[in-house]
Amino acid sequence: MVFSGSLHAPAAPTDTAPPESAAPAESAAPSAGPSSTPEPTPTPEPEVFNLSFIGDITPDTVAYYRGSSVAYQNVVTTDNLGYVFEKTIQYFEDDDFTMANFECALTNETTASDKNFTFRAPPEYAGILTEGSVEFVTLEGIVQPFPLHFHDFWTIGQMVGGRRRMTCRGEVHDLGPEDFVLFGSGEVHGCKPLDDAPLMYRSVVVPVGLFAQAFAESHGIGAASLPDGGPACRFKSVVVRDAALSACMDRLYAFARTDSAHDPLEEEEALWALLAQTARYCESEAAEPPAPEAPSAANVARARAYLEERFASCITLDDLACCAGVSRYHLIRVFSEETGLTPHRYLQAVRANRARDLLAAGVDPAEVAARSGFADQAHMGRVYKSFYGITPGSYRTAARTRVREG
């Protein structure tokens, strides 16, 4: 993406002062001729500076394209660093100043004192910027807010950098580095930045069935007794600090950051250590007799089921209210009270989750949009990025690369 423009600077004022008037002669007679009109001062031509802003540049050699035929290290060498800008440099090579957003650390190290380098490249890749006539770069992470949403999997996430204000279960939490956030499947949450520091965050997403097994084993419950929807439990708190859990996360992430092969058993042990440590924060609901469902909860449950079954079709508020057995006004009120989302936003979340699954399976984005209930690809892109922070195309590319590497 390239933005270009011109800056017009006024000409500098001249240093020449106007000539002083000559002192009149003592015996000068008044001039008999007509007074002369002074010549107008010509307007100087303005100076013009051309500026361009480009981004994003991520010559990553680690995270997503490792081992792929299109990986940077397999395409770009020190002999052809100009390859990266080969088809775009004509737009800004003659500019006076070019600024680029550079989303990559140039280093041979894997970590710094305060963060992991998720995206990194060798120092010699600085030549990509000079070959591309880039004079200045910015290094920033995610600063956008994430509105209320939910996932159809369990989430174990940890703040690494930045500060966020998170809303979940009607509670507000201010998060900072080392804080863990724990979300069950379907748990509505959202966050916004507390300052200008970019968000640095790492997470492990766990399918419902897999977390059910971890919960059952850690609590001595037979897997056969678990309901089809997974464990009848939830996290006691959505925010915790736990050094042991952080160590488990470090160990698991170490596998993703290295290029060397691993024993599958070692990787499974690391995963199950993380799951077992996380399951300690769950409280079971199975031991208590279920409370009678309030009418509002029953209405919302029917509405949610309707949205999840017919997400790809055109759903009206009348249809949803009729299915739930309440008025449209009552449906919006109780639905928001029960889920934290309006029916429409909940439907968007269902569609975004469905789109993610189809993109991971390699389905063409246009078909994904149609099968997920979006009006078109542009509509899907806006909604998808609001939930996941990346575009559908970026997610599809990363998912397909992981499949090829596996």
Asked whether residue 40 is domain-assigned, the answer is no
β-sheet bridge partners, residue 3 = 53
Into how many domains does the chain fold? 3
Asked whether residue 330 is domain-assigned, the answer is yes
- Please determine, for residue 296, whether its predicted confidence score (pLDDT) is greater than 50: yes
Q: Is 109 helix (H, G, I), strand (E, B) or coil?
A: coil
Give the Cβ contact number of residue 189 at 10 Å.
20
> Of 117, 138, 159, which residue constitutes the final position of a domain?
138
- Please determine, for residue 30, whether its predicted confidence score (pLDDT) is greater than 70: no
- Whether residue 182 is found in the same domain as residue 99: no
- Whether residue 51 is found in the same domain as residue 164: no
Asked whether residue 263 is domain-assigned, the answer is yes
Asked whether residue 254 is domain-assigned, the answer is yes
Q: Are 241 and 179 in contact (CB under 8 A)?
A: yes
Q: What is the pLDDT of residues 273-288, one digit of tens each?
A: 888 899 889 887 554 4
Q: Which helix (H) or strand (E) holds 211?
A: helix 208-219
- Whether residue 151 is found in the same domain as residue 271: yes
pTM for the whole structure: 0.52
Banded pLDDT at 24 (limits 50, 70, 90): very low
Asked whether residue 33 is domain-assigned, the answer is no
Highest mean pLDDT among 84-93, 107-116, 155-164: 155-164
CA-CA distance, 191 to 321, in Å (whole number)? Answer: 30
- Whether residue 274 is found in the same domain as residue 172: yes
- Whether residue 110 is found in the same domain as residue 175: no
Asked whether residue 387 is domain-assigned, the answer is yes
- Whether residue 150 is found in the same domain as residue 275: yes
Least confident interval from 16-25, 247-256, 315-324 = 16-25
- Whether residue 394 is found in the same domain as residue 331: yes
Residue with tokens 């922070």: 389
Here the CATH number for the domain that contains residue 343 is 1.10.10.60
For residue 149, give the amino acid letter: H
- Please determine, for residue 232, whether its predicted confidence score (pLDDT) is greater than 80: no
- Work out the average pLDDT over 258-272: 66
Asked whether residue 306 is domain-assigned, the answer is yes
What pLDDT is stored for residue 178 in this prediction?
Answer: 94
Asked whether residue 69 is domain-assigned, the answer is yes
- Whether residue 98 is found in the same domain as residue 150: no
> What residue numbers bound the domain in which 217 lies?
146-284
Angle at alpha carbon of residue 42, lines to 36 and 44, rounded to 5° = 165
pLDDT over 70 for what percent of the chain?
68
What pLDDT is stored for residue 181 in this prediction?
Answer: 96
- Whether residue 204 is found in the same domain as residue 312: no
- Whether residue 261 is found in the same domain as residue 153: yes
What pLDDT is stored for residue 306 in this prediction?
Answer: 92
> Of 232, 255, 284, which residue constitutes the final position of a domain?
284
- Whether residue 133 is found in the same domain as residue 158: no
CB contact set of 365 (below 8 Å; sequence gap of 6+): 359, 377, 380, 392, 393, 396
Higher pLDDT pick, 405 / 73: 73
Q: Are 248 and 240 in contact (CB under 8 A)?
A: no
- Whether residue 234 is found in the same domain as residue 353: no
> Of 138, 167, 197, which residue constitutes the final position of a domain?
138
Q: Is 274 helix (H, G, I), strand (E, B) or coil?
A: helix
- Joined together, the tokens standing for residue 183 give 């979300």
How far apart, in Å, do the first and last CA atoms of the chain sit?
A: 32
CA-CA distance, 128 to 81, in Å (whole number)? Answer: 5
Here the CATH number for the domain that contains residue 225 is 2.60.120.280
- Please determine, for residue 183, whether its predicted confidence score (pLDDT) is greater than 70: yes
